[in-house]
Amino acid sequence: MSGLAWLTLAPILTPLGFGLGLLWPWSRPVRVGLSLAGVFLTLAFSLGLLAATADGTVLVGALGGWPAPFGIVMTADRLAAWVSVLGAVSAVLAVWQAAADPDPVREKHHLLALMQFLFAGVQMSFLTGDLFNLFVAFEVMLVASYALAVLGSTREQLREGFRYIVMNLAASALLVVACGLAYGVLGTLNFAHLARRSAELGPNPTVTAVGVLLLVVFAAKGALFPLGFWLPGTYPALPPAVGTFFAAVLTKVGVYALLRVFTTVFSQEAAVTNTLLLLLGTVTMLYGALGAASQREWRRILSFLVVSSVGYLAFGLGVGTEEALRASVGYFAVSVLVTTALFSIAGVAERASGSRLVRVRGMLDFLPLLAGCFLLCALTVAGLPPSGGFVAKYALVRAGLAQGSPLALVAVFSALLSSLITLYAMLNVWRGFFWGQHPNWLPVYRVPRALHAAAYAACALVAGLSLFAGPLFARADATAAELRDNARYIRGVLGDGPVVIPPAPTGEEDGP
């Protein structure tokens, strides 16, 4: 492994190593220190990847020295490095929350170690270079998430965790079938080699069918309607710190897989998959917004907003133009950061009021800074100026109008309508929780300062989306151009020459 290629493995091995270390029965301060060290080190390596790929370099780490497409490779281009950083930032804030809000029962059963394993699986999903290894990464991520989903064994967790596990096991089984079909048709599972072989084959109904099957799998992972029915019940049942990371990143892993597979790998016959994505995105945006407006609990409202945000990403991917991809990559960052911030705020609000409900009233007097942070996030998630959410949604709508097909125009209408409904839902939360006179008989509980600080730090990043929208979209622009032209990715992984399959061993290579 030469040059900076080792960086493609570092964000995976770091949380994995710290997770193994956390299985040892250290004292709590040591476990917290190790957890924070693990996520900050992962973030540092992810930032290294971001810098190394800024000029369009594709880093390839070949495990065991076996080159692609014959060995397992980890790859990082602009897109993979970008989502790796976002995942690491959300991991830092989730561990910060967990450190600030002790949970002795769950920590006794390795909460912090399981979180590190989850981070390793997520990073591996972002950085893997082949389809079967993506399945392995999903399983690493999901095994940890299954344990976290039921850790605590409350009735609600077991009920919702069962649905989450069954849904993901079914999607994983379908992914194995899709891998087998892809290998049967194209003879490879490496992303770059799949792209080259599918281009050589040209438009092909069998390849399109494999693509549709993969779309169903990743739509289930990404919680697109109607395959996201499990999400709004599962995330509120999780502990706040774990729920923050689940909500911000886990659905985005499915969206990342959609972006990777339908831009870099299968781009020959995009009309079918783009139409399906546009259709699913249109319905998902509205379903999520209407669901949020119908709920009265903090994290149930926010969980539906997660669903809605996935719809916006599918909308951009379905439009498929370079401008739409640019908007989707920008909105990806907005969605991860604002979801992290909103779930962090919800954790503080629930802790201060002692209730999951938003109809508490009058908390503005006790939590004025949190109320300001919530307003900023509400503007961002609804897509109103001057927030970063406005810039991203405006770009999506403009891309939809420029594409101009009837379905794209319906999707634009759905995007605007769901933004209005989202604004209504967020104003309801503001009016129910912060506004009005606080009832004297309701207690207000003390919240650890570190928990406040985690929420404020997340909100500072959301504010940064507005202040640094220019550099953000410049990066998104370069990433979208790279996604539209996969030649650089293929050349970076496979080289310039043809792929030569080594001859079968004869048993005489080592001589007499």
Per-10-residue mean pLDDT for the chain, 512 residues long? 83 96 94 96 96 92 82 92 96 95 89 95 94 92 89 80 88 93 91 90 86 92 86 86 92 92 82 91 96 94 94 94 93 95 95 91 92 95 90 94 93 96 95 90 90 95 90 90 88 79 54 44
Instruction: Determine the Cα–Cα distance for residues 449 and 475; give it in Å rounded to an integer.
Output: 35
Report the SS3 class of residue 357. strand
Instruction: Determine the Cα–Cα distance for residues 305 and 242; give it in Å rounded to an integer.
Output: 17
* DSSP letter string, 106-143: HHHTTHHHHHHHHHHHHHHHHHB-BHHHHHHHHHHHHH
Instruction: Determine the Cα–Cα distance for residues 472 and 122; give it in Å rounded to an integer.
Output: 22
CA angle 68/271/220 to nearest 5° reads 70
- Give the CA count within 13 Å in the CB-facing half-sphere of 1: 18
Residue 218, both tokens: 């990743």
Q: How far is CA 419 from CA 22, 30, 392, 393, 395, in A?
A: 42, 44, 12, 9, 14
Confidence (pLDDT) at 510: 47
Which positions ≥6 away from 181 have C-beta within 8 Å? Answer: 206, 209, 210, 213
Cβ-in-10-Å burial (0-12, 13-18, 19+) of 182 comes to buried
User: 232-243: string of b/e by CB count within 10 Å (b at 16+)?
Assistant: bbbbbbbbbbbb
Confidence (pLDDT) at 204: 84
Cβ-in-10-Å burial (0-12, 13-18, 19+) of 375 comes to middle
For residues 373 and 455, the answer to whether their CB atoms sit within 8 Å is: yes
Report the SS3 class of residue 71. coil
Peptide bond into 386 cis (omega under 30): yes
In DSSP terms, 62 is beta-bridged to 73
Q: How far is CA 467 from CA 104, 386, 388, 477, in A?
A: 39, 9, 8, 17
In DSSP terms, 426 is beta-bridged to none
Confidence (pLDDT) at 2: 60
Instruction: Determine the Cα–Cα distance for residues 84 and 68; give it in Å rounded to an integer.
Output: 22
- The answer for 354, left when phi > 0, alpha when psi is -120 to 50, beta otherwise, is left
Confidence (pLDDT) at 276: 93
Displacement of CA 172 from its chain's centroid (Å): 17
Instruction: Determine the Cα–Cα distance for residues 278 and 315; give it in Å rounded to an integer.
Output: 5
The identity of residue 225, as a single letter, is F
Instruction: Determine the Cα–Cα distance for residues 196 and 374; give it in Å rounded to an integer.
Output: 47
Confidence (pLDDT) at 479: 92
In DSSP terms, 59 is beta-bridged to 76
Pairing relationship of beta strands 73-76 and 59-62 according to DSSP bridges: antiparallel
Confidence (pLDDT) at 511: 45
Confidence (pLDDT) at 1: 60
Confidence (pLDDT) at 88: 97
